[in-house]
A and B are shown apart, each in its own frame.
Chain A
């Protein structure tokens, strides 16, 4: 099993490496362009359709600081592919180095329960869940960049694990069964 490991390579100086995993391979291109515009640090954006990553690039690939799964809520295949890719991630990534981005959440053809299922998955894995529209706006890229900077150690006194308890997705309690502890 070729797991992607977070600490198997040396980190790069003043660089942040991010991996965008998307089944449709559309949104990730725009997001990559917006992310690469950052000038303060060098942002390396790697694109992938799914995990596991091909073995041929393994030597030249840098150490990945943040793995982002881009899930299009209008297609079930997107979600399934992301879930299947999760198996190829080393558990060390789930301490704040994995992020989910959901697109098209406001689209009419979103199947009911799809967003809930994604939320539940993100809550189970203690990962943040961000939302973005089809057209990449600077604000969604900026949010991702903030998490990326923390994950690559560029923010002093903050590590990915520290941030994860602030950004992790939580399931809203059931409206039918109010729980007042």
Chain B
């Protein structure tokens, strides 16, 4: 069977590579000028390859019978578990790098060579800038608080003004009414008087007209009398 043969050939390959630590040096005579860094790199490459082949071998060993659909269902869980482990590993590596870096910086600062003095100067400047930033931030916060206070006061005054305006408006509208009421009463009284006087005048005019007609007075010749008679015609004859 082809898979079975593959695994045995794989075993042999891993053994060969593992024993020789890579292909024999005689096969690559032109590599004398490789630096140690290059050799390390190449060694790491081979280690990677060996690791891959080991993984492939182990994958074949733990075979348990299960259907494709079951495998598909289990795959996301495995993948997420893998992702979780990867993230944890990555975060730990990051933290480790951070610690290493800070340790290196601290060690450097303890020394007295020119690099260290430069580093100290830079870190002193950083500290100065940071404290200045803090100070400015405090100032900003205080100013902001003051602004908020002033705005609150302004709002309060506005509210009071509004209330006072409303009050004055109410008072004004209230004052107009009693005046107009008095005014109305006076007006009615006045009108009643006017009516009375009108009636009196009409009666007097009627009386005069009666007298003039009865006495057969010649009013056309007398200018004063003619004026008075003319005005009599304005008024209607009331009974």
Chain B binds chain A: yes
By a beta-carbon cutoff of 8 Å, the part of chain A in contact with chain B is: 1, 3, 5-11, 13-14, 90, 92, 95, 152-156, 158-162, 165
Asked if B139 is an interface residue, CB under 8 A from chain A, the answer is no
- B residues in contact (CB < 8 Å) with A: 2, 6, 9-10, 13, 16-17, 22-23, 28, 31, 38, 41-42, 44-49, 51-53, 55-56, 79, 82-83, 86
A–B pairs, 14, beta carbons within 8 Å: A1-B2, A6-B56, A7-B10, A13-B28, A13-B45, A14-B42, A14-B45, A153-B44, A153-B46, A153-B48, A156-B48, A160-B52, A165-B83, A165-B86
Least CB distance from A155 to B in Å reads 8
Inter-subunit contact A8/B45 (CB<8 Å): no
Given contacts A7-B56, A154-B45, A165-B82, contact A13 B51 (CB under 8 A): no
CB distance from A148 to the nearest CB of B (A): 13
Residues of B close to A155: CB separation below 8 A: 48
> Of all chain B residues, which has the CB nearest A8?
B9
- Docked-complex contact B23 and A3, CB < 8 angstroms: no
Known: A11-B17, A14-B45, A165-B86. 15 other contacts (CB 8 A): A7-B13, A7-B52, A8-B13, A10-B23, A90-B6, A95-B56, A152-B45, A152-B49, A153-B47, A154-B45, A155-B48, A159-B51, A159-B55, A162-B86, A165-B83
- Judging by beta carbons under 8 Å apart, are A8 and B44 in contact? no
CA separation between A112 and B99, bound complex, in Å?
Answer: 53
Q: Are A5 and B6 in contact (CB under 8 A)?
A: yes
Contact B42 A7 (CB under 8 A): no
Question: Are the CB atoms of B48 and A14 closer together than 8 Å?
Answer: no
How far, in angstroms, from A53 to B9 measured CA to CA in the complex? 21
Among B13, B17, B46, B49, which residue has the most Cβ atoms of chain A within 10 A? Answer: B49
- Per DSSP, chain A at the interface is loop
- A65's closest neighbor in chain B, by CB? B49
In contact, B56 and A10 (Cβ under 8 angstroms): no
Q: Which residues of A contact B48 (CB under 8 A)?
A: 153-156, 158-159
How far does the Cβ of A9 sit from chain B's closest Cβ, in whole Å? 8
Contacts of B10 in A (CB 8 A): 7-8
Distance between Cα atoms of A154 and B44 in the complex (Å): 7
Most A-side CB within 10 Å, residue of B23, B28, B48, B83: B48
Query: Smallest distance from the beta carbon of B164 to chain A beta carbons, Å?
Result: 57
Which of chain B's residues have a CB closer than 8 A to the CB of A160? 52
For residue A20, give the distance in angstroms from its CB to the closest CB of chain B.
22
C-alpha spacing A73/B2, complex, angstroms: 35
A11 to B86, CA, bound (A): 27
Contacts of B9 in A (CB 8 A): 7-8
* Chain A residues positioned under 8 Å from B55 (CB to CB): 159, 161
In angstroms, Cα B38 to Cα A92, docked, is 29
Contact of A159 (CB < 8 Å), options: B42, B52, B82: B52
Asked if B56 contacts A92 (CB within 8 A), the reply is: yes
Residue of B nearest to A124 (CB): B72
- CB closest residue in chain A, given B79: A165
Rounded to whole angstroms, the CA-CA distance of A155 and B48 in the bound complex is: 8
Whole-angstrom distance from the CB of A168 to the nearest CB of chain B? 9
Cα–Cα, bound, A114→B176 (Å):
87
Residue on A nearest B93 in the bound complex, by CB: A157
Contacts of A165 in B (CB 8 A): 79, 82-83, 86
